[in-house]
Structure 1
Amino acid sequence: MSNIQIINENIPKGIAMINDLKIDTRKFNNRKKALTGFTIVELLIVIVIIGILAAITIVSYIGISKKATEASLTSDLDGAKRQLELYKTEHETYPTSLDENKCPTAPENDTKYCLKNKDFIYTTTDNGLTYILRLTKSGITFEVTNSTGPTEKSETAVAAVSFLKTWGNLADDSGTSLAKTNDGGYIMSGHTKSYGAGGADAFIAKYTADGNLSWSRTWGGAGSDWGLSLIQTSDGGYAMAGKTESYGAGGADAFIAKYTADGNLSWSRTWGGTKSEYSVSLIQTSDSGYAMVGYTNSYGAGVADAFISKFTADGNLSWSRTWGGTDSDYGNKLIQTSDGGYMMSGSTSSYADGSAFIAKYTVDGNLSWSRTWGDVGKDSSFQSLIQTSDGGYAMAGYTRSYGAGDLDAFIAKYTVDGNLSWSRTWGGTVEDYGASLIRTSDGGFAMSGETGSYGVGYHDAFIAKYTVDGSLLWSRTWGSAGYENASSLIQTIDGGYAVAGVTYIHGHESAYIAKLTADGSINNCPLSMCQAPTATVSSPVATVTSPTATVSSPVATVTSPTVITTSPTVIIINAIPEPAPEMTITFSNQELYVAYPGVNHTACKEWTVPNGKQIKGFLVSQATESNFDFFTVSLDGVEKYKKSGTSTDEFVDTSAAPGTALKACTSADGSAQSGYGGEVTGVLYN
């Protein structure tokens, strides 16, 4: 029986109840009739019955609304499934990737089979033999696969997996960009001083869906090279952009590096002049080429100009454009818009005395319009940019102009023509930065960055979830006593989130990848690391201008360097402390305690499990100088633990690869210290 039938049948029943009650009450109230023909008691009864009917109507409406949402989800997924089947009929496999308009880009570009809704979350495995397609509306999630029809996904089953894992070694390593891969995993880029050929090398690292590292690759030379932006390409491979001091024409050049799906380097290109250039954001374009933005000191009108450059699929330069004035201007983020053109965001000191800006371009790189955001004499910067479902744009960054503290993170929403719809700040009394912004499957937004106002350390990473109209739903922070950020944010196939960034959780700078649940949490994360702050928010009326920027079309120097690459064996540590089981043996005589060994020395102790048993885990406590002195534990010669700083009773699980012999070492640098070291306090074995 439908909800409408229930309403129609309940209305006459309610009227009949009123009539029955009128007859009964006349026995007691026949002398107290009002001019209306009803007694006071009768009127009260009528009001009660009307309230009951209204409640029935509201409940029924909610039921109808849910059913309407479910019907809409089913219809959209059925339509998308038909498109995917048609694509497979023509191209023999399902698409292995979709662009931001949900049009197939690999193995073949084909706009005939674009999916109707841009909010679909699509993932494929086995090189296009299977797929999962998910859609969320009004908090309800349905999914369809190549072998099943639309089914609702229970809330408890969505985004249950979480982890936080670091990447790196003793030197400084930083994660800067994160992307989803077609197999449901992740790819991260950044720069490393622990591995590679030079002072710092760019790197890419491939992960499975559950956070296990598949492989890592470094890119660089004798100088300092950074990976700043990373994408998966339509052929299943990857492309990274950044800055290089090892190759190119000047002090630093922008670069693009193209990789196969297995992480083998296909080609590299540098872009620049005699001074310095950085590439900060890279996209693959609808023609399978590439476009990047950043800043240049070699070309343009001022000290530094923002630039956008377009390349073919083979890495040949098509055109370049600069944007700026007489001062310093920086391009930070690039997207391709639904009309085939481009949108760049960044920061400008040439216009509005220091503001954020957005600039709209045609498909050929001609400037259509520009807008600044921010107050006079202040400094704001858009660090992230997306196109919204209504064709407009949303940007995130940081502002000195508005908010509660020295710096606040912010989101600003624009119409398709560049008119400001609304702005929101997020922060506290100290410094808070917005670094990455995404549109979520429910139509809202999520922003990540770093906060000095909330959390447990100097600066903590944060994520904040918003509705479609910019209302804050929740905020989460995570970190250590040192510095953390969340420089890159994506939504995962299960409705959760993943971020990449920098952490000092081991006492030195490490890159990390974190998988969050749908509410931004990390399972089993202690309050000493993870918190849920109540952030101060505001809705400022921001100053907006439409500057006439100076543009140029420079002929940049492009080179194709032969780059040094390595495939390092990287130390991966689960940064969330695991609950420690009861140890088989607890050391009482400091069997594996290694004190401070003296300047520039390393001291070690060894212990072998008796009777051929297998070591399944161990407990570690330490107090060493952060960033400089380290405590290391190896099992059968394989390093299982390495940290600086302080840690108490941290459990290291080795059950996946057990062994028989532990070696604990404390190493020191050239600065004299005393009175501390590291210790294995207990061992789990069978």
Structure 2
Amino acid sequence: MCAFDNRASIANYYLVVLCIIAVILVNEAIAGDSSSASSWAQGYTLILMSNKDISEANEARDYVISQGGAIAILSPPHVMLGWIPAGISDKLLGKNGIEFITQSPIDIRGLKYQDEQSIAFINFFNYVASGDMEKEREASATAKGEPLINDALPHPGINREDFERNLQQLGIESFSWNNSDEMTGTVAYALFFVESNGTKDTSQYDWTAVDQQNTINRASSGLSWWVNKAVDYGVTLSFTPRIYPYNGVAAQQGYEPITHFSTEDSLWINQIMDNLGYTSGDKFEKVTAFNSWLKIQYKTNWAFSVFIAYNPLGAPTKFKDSIPTCAYSYLGGPYVQMLFRNCNWGEAAFGTVLSHETGHVFWACDEYYDFQDNYGCTSCGACAADGPRPTIVNANCEYCNINSVPCMMRHNEDALCPQTPKHIGWCAAFKKIYSDLYNGGLAEPGELDLAQDGGFCWLDWNIILKLDSCGNIIWKRDVDSKYVFHSIAATSDGGCIASGYRELPDYPAPGGFIAKFNSSGNVTWKREYGHDSVPEDESLAVTETNNGNYVTAGFMWNPNSNSVNCCYECMLITAFNSPGNIIWRRSFNELLPVPDDQNPEPHCHGYNNSQAYAVAPTLDGGVIMISTGNLVLKLNASGGLLWRRKFIGVGELNSITQTKDGGYIIAGWIPGSGGSDFFIVKLDNFGNVIWKRSIGGTGWDKAHSIIPTSDGGYIVSGGSGSFDSQYGDILLVKLNSSGNISLSRIFEDSSDNDWGKVSLEQTLDGGYAIEEGYLLKLDSKGLFSGCELISPLLSITVPSFYVSAPALYVEATSLWIWAPSFVMSAPTMNVYSNSCPWPP
């Protein structure tokens, strides 16, 4: 159960044995309706749940979102706040622990959930639903504060060893310090109500329970504002709080912050982090490690922290700095420092100031400029060159734009300019085409992989692009033409890894090739490898495993084919550690059963080719992969074969990935009435079939990519000839967790690109990215603003096939390996956009 973290103090948990009435009348509003003159509070809804833990609460949130709702605040395990579409309360009640929904204030005394954090956020809901929030805003509307001077500080450097040491002390070995790259998906945040215990400074100002609750109310208001704006952009966003109250052990320390300079904030922040067990490094390593823990604990995409010092009436409204300083944050995190009353904005505007500072945490830049005192933004160029979107300009900066428009990042205004959403990673649906002026052609269908920062690693033959979440190029690399890449994967350190082969004219040498690129696009290591001097080994797929290694899947030429090891081309699976050394390798080929009197055991009948061409990481540090012959193999972290399944009666398997429940989802095609249909099969973690589907129109349809979605369903894409005479149309189908269609789209593509060989990713904002020689971004509803998209009529059936577990020949083949030299350049690329998702 998530409650206030009072550590050594005893929390007040009251269990009142009262039942909540399950059926109520509510007046519901469409999520995020900003068309009326009232604020985002219109239609704000309280949902109470009987869930027992964070995971169950997260599933409930995802379910509400899948039904068209928007959840601003999730306080697990019992409270959700946000907006739901009209008329769906009855559908939600009883699902995923949801037992109560209202838009009217409620009496907390009769509730069975009396943990402090649940009560705090129910009180916040009452503050909104009663109209008290609107009254407070109206009363303080005339008090417009001054610009928040120097409040966007440069992103700090982090010592990785200290950062990792903090988490390892907690028993956490797998982590990322990219905690606030974009304001999308799910965000955990901690509110620290900093309290002095008088051990260093005289304690002058002590938080009260009333002012703490008021600050929670205003902070929640400021974050709900962002979620309401996100809805307008088709972005999924939800915040999950962790409260550290003033009377808990964690927030207690010896200093009275308001009597210090802002540059001394390490005094209280370090003590608070020490209280929580983060003792290595400086405040930046400690808070970054804490945020990573917060992200892991609440299973969110991102996390940040807010430290709030108390300065009631009678106390200064600024720190002791010569330049007025009251609230500030670091671009890209890890934290925000604020006061109860920030400069002359007043306590009622706390939420507005937090909205502004939260923008900075997610890389939004200041847009105000004071010409008299010469402070604020000073350029309309790129303002966060070291961030995840270094090419986005700050065109609304007042210094260089006399037509600057109202924006939260300008003067804390209730609006967003066109630039701020791009700064924080909100991108409307787009189609971007990348033209390589070096060879004068457009990109061919390649491969796309979602990076942790919300951007992408994209591969096109021997050109590698690192893109931000809006499709802008961060860096580009053209590798020596004698190397051909087949596959690319984003890596946990912000870089990319690509694999393929070296072409035959460069005899004699191994043919397999892998190269690791860091976050700046520089090669950290590269390897050629193979088992023989004849270079017919190739890597067809690559992935990063959950334990930080890299695995390539492909094939090797086998000059020693015999009656048992009978493949001319055998599967070759190779694992590399993070420095690029081979740690294990396996060669597999299927033995074809031909029982006869002389040899009743499985053995070769002729010669077969086995190529592994799809690979994905699994939770245990191993991989799952597909090979020719529709064979699925599960390997553990050491390369040991755990199980295998052969799908007979299926045309071809093309894509596989692990699902949240530990099972697997596979997509490909199966013979159908129009020639072929999409084929989707769900397996459990032992490879047993749970359900299966064939989906298609009147012509051929072949699925190429499938991924799980955040709501527990699946999205699958591929090529279709069912709806147009041209080959290569893109068919996109969204399935729920049971395998039933919830959304479908068809996109014309007259380019005839490899029978709809497309890569597919769900973006962190809940939308979808599709690659087929261009990058197509759709919003979370599968829509492209301003364009009429087609939802095709599809048939769905339960196909027939059978599954076997064939005998395999397994060998730890010997390999040659070395680090080759090659030429690499940064090619000139022209990027242009189409208004609708059709090719030029």
**TM-score, scaled to structure 1:** 0.59
Partner of 1:17: none
Partner of 1:181: 451
1:535 corresponds, among 775, 790, 794, to 794
1:214 corresponds, among 474, 480, 484, to 474
Matched, 1:303 2:508: no
Secondary structure of residue in 2 paired with 1:204: strand
Structure 1 CA distance for aligned equivalents of residues 798 and 749 of structure 2: 31
Structure 2 CA distance for aligned equivalents of residues 271 and 454 of structure 1: 44
Cα distance, 1:321 vs. partner? 0.7
Structure 2 CA distance for aligned equivalents of residues 259 and 306 of structure 1: 26
Secondary structure of residue in 2 paired with 1:115: helix
Structure 2 CA distance for aligned equivalents of residues 8 and 555 of structure 1: 68
Secondary structure of residue in 2 paired with 1:483: coil
Aligned in 2, Cα 1:271/1:301: closer, same or farther, shift over 3 Å?
A: farther
Cα distance, 1:415 vs. partner? 1.2
Can you give the 5+ residue segments of structure 1 that lack an aligned partner in the other structure? 11-54, 79-85, 132-143, 149-156, 192-201, 349-355, 502-510, 580-642, 648-686
2:608 corresponds, among 304, 327, 330, to 327
Instruction: Check conservation: 1:159, 1:496, Cα contact below 8 A.
Output: no
Q: 1:614-653 residue pairs with structure 2 within 5 A?
A: none
Q: 1:269-284 residue pairs with structure 2 within 5 A?
A: 269-272=527-530, 273=532, 274-284=534-544
Cα distance, 1:388 vs. partner? 1.5
Instruction: Check conservation: 1:163, 1:516, Cα contact below 8 A.
Output: yes
Structure 2 CA distance for aligned equivalents of residues 532 and 397 of structure 1: 21
Instruction: Check conservation: 2:546, 2:618, Cα contact below 8 A.
Output: no
Secondary structure of residue in 1 paired with 2:616: strand
1:339 corresponds, among 611, 620, 634, to 620
Q: 1:64-213 residue pairs with structure 2 within 5 A?
A: 66=98, 90=166, 95-96=177-178, 115=296, 120-122=300-302, 129=334, 161-169=428-436, 170-171=440-441, 173-191=443-461, 202-213=462-473
Instruction: Check conservation: 1:456, 1:481, Cα contact below 8 A.
Output: no
1:370 corresponds, among 644, 664, 677, to 644
Matched, 1:573 2:832: yes
Structure 1 CA distance for aligned equivalents of residues 818 and 505 of structure 2: 8
Structure 1 CA distance for aligned equivalents of residues 768 and 683 of structure 2: 25
Structure 2 CA distance for aligned equivalents of residues 66 and 512 of structure 1: 42
Q: 1:301-450 residue pairs with structure 2 within 5 A?
A: 301-325=566-590, 326-348=607-629, 356-375=630-649, 380-400=651-671, 403-450=672-719
Q: Identity over aligned residues, as a percent?
A: 25
Paired AA for residue 253 in structure 1? G
Structure 2 CA distance for aligned equivalents of residues 174 and 60 of structure 1: 45
Structure 2 CA distance for aligned equivalents of residues 145 and 390 of structure 1: 38
Aligned in 2, Cα 1:127/1:90: closer, same or farther, shift over 3 Å?
A: farther
Aligned in 2, Cα 1:168/1:465: closer, same or farther, shift over 3 Å?
A: same
Instruction: Check conservation: 2:717, 2:730, Cα contact below 8 A.
Output: yes
Structure 1 CA distance for aligned equivalents of residues 837 and 696 of structure 2: 31
Instruction: Check conservation: 1:361, 1:367, Cα contact below 8 A.
Output: yes
Matched, 1:516 2:781: no
Secondary structure of residue in 2 paired with 1:423: strand
Cα distance, 1:474 vs. partner? 1.7
Q: Deviations over 1:303-337 (max 9, x none)?
A: 22222111111111122111213412221222232
2:522 corresponds, among 254, 264, 275, to 264
Structure 2 CA distance for aligned equivalents of residues 230 and 130 of structure 1: 33
Pick the structure with more strand per residue.
1
Paired AA for residue 501 in structure 2? K
Structure 1 CA distance for aligned equivalents of residues 88 and 681 of structure 2: 41
Cα distance, 1:578 vs. partner? 11
Instruction: Check conservation: 2:657, 2:707, Cα contact below 8 A.
Output: yes
Structure 2 CA distance for aligned equivalents of residues 327 and 60 of structure 1: 53
Cα distance, 1:338 vs. partner? 2.1
Cα distance, 1:109 vs. partner? 14
Aligned in 2, Cα 1:287/1:2: closer, same or farther, shift over 3 Å?
A: closer
Secondary structure of residue in 2 paired with 1:183: coil
Paired AA for residue 804 in structure 2? T
How many residue pairs match? The answer is 464
Can you give the 5+ residue segments of structure 2 that lack an aligned partner in the other structure? 1-15, 26-86, 103-112, 122-161, 169-174, 181-186, 188-284, 305-329, 337-354, 360-420, 560-564, 591-606
Aligned in 2, Cα 1:346/1:64: closer, same or farther, shift over 3 Å?
A: closer
Structure 2 CA distance for aligned equivalents of residues 523 and 416 of structure 1: 39
2:720 corresponds, among 427, 451, 454, to 451
Paired AA for residue 642 in structure 2? S
Cα distance, 1:542 vs. partner? 2.0
Structure 2 CA distance for aligned equivalents of residues 534 and 56 of structure 1: 26
Secondary structure of residue in 2 paired with 1:174: coil
Aligned in 2, Cα 1:344/1:69: closer, same or farther, shift over 3 Å?
A: farther
Structure 2 CA distance for aligned equivalents of residues 248 and 343 of structure 1: 32
Structure 1 CA distance for aligned equivalents of residues 536 and 431 of structure 2: 35
Cα distance, 1:341 vs. partner? 2.7
Instruction: Check conservation: 2:504, 2:536, Cα contact below 8 A.
Output: no
**TM-score, scaled to structure 2:** 0.49
Instruction: Check conservation: 2:546, 2:620, Cα contact below 8 A.
Output: no
2:497 corresponds, among 220, 235, 239, to 239
Cα distance, 1:346 vs. partner? 2.4
Structure 2 CA distance for aligned equivalents of residues 311 and 60 of structure 1: 47
Paired AA for residue 645 in structure 2? R
Question: What RMSD, in angstroms, separates the aligned Cα atoms of the two structures?
Answer: 4.4
Return 406-415 or 296-305, whichever deviates more.
296-305
Q: Deviations over 1:47-88 (max 9, x none)?
A: xxxxxxxx999689469954679999x99xx9xxxxxxx979
Cα distance, 1:465 vs. partner? 0.5
Cα distance, 1:427 vs. partner? 2.0
1:559 corresponds, among 790, 799, 818, to 818
Structure 2 CA distance for aligned equivalents of residues 284 and 109 of structure 1: 25
Structure 1 CA distance for aligned equivalents of residues 166 and 822 of structure 2: 39
Instruction: Check conservation: 2:486, 2:500, Cα contact below 8 A.
Output: yes
Matched, 1:481 2:740: no
Secondary structure of residue in 1 paired with 2:166: helix
Partner of 2:196: none
Structure 2 CA distance for aligned equivalents of residues 515 and 56 of structure 1: 29
Instruction: Check conservation: 2:548, 2:577, Cα contact below 8 A.
Output: yes
Partner of 2:548: 288
Secondary structure of residue in 1 paired with 2:441: coil
Q: Deviations over 1:268-290 (max 9, x none)?
A: 11222314222222122344221
Cα distance, 1:6 vs. partner? 4.7
Secondary structure of residue in 2 paired with 1:304: strand
Q: Deviations over 1:237-284 (max 9, x none)?
A: 221112331797668822111112111222211222314222222122
2:488 corresponds, among 216, 222, 230, to 230
Larger radius of gyration: 1
Aligned in 2, Cα 1:5/1:183: closer, same or farther, shift over 3 Å?
A: closer
Q: Deviations over 1:378-426 (max 9, x none)?
A: x6332211112221111112223xx333222211111111111121112
Aligned in 2, Cα 1:68/1:335: closer, same or farther, shift over 3 Å?
A: farther
Structure 2 CA distance for aligned equivalents of residues 333 and 563 of structure 1: 27
Paired AA for residue 178 in structure 2? T
Return 326-335 or 561-570, whichever deviates more.
326-335
Structure 1 CA distance for aligned equivalents of residues 727 and 477 of structure 2: 31
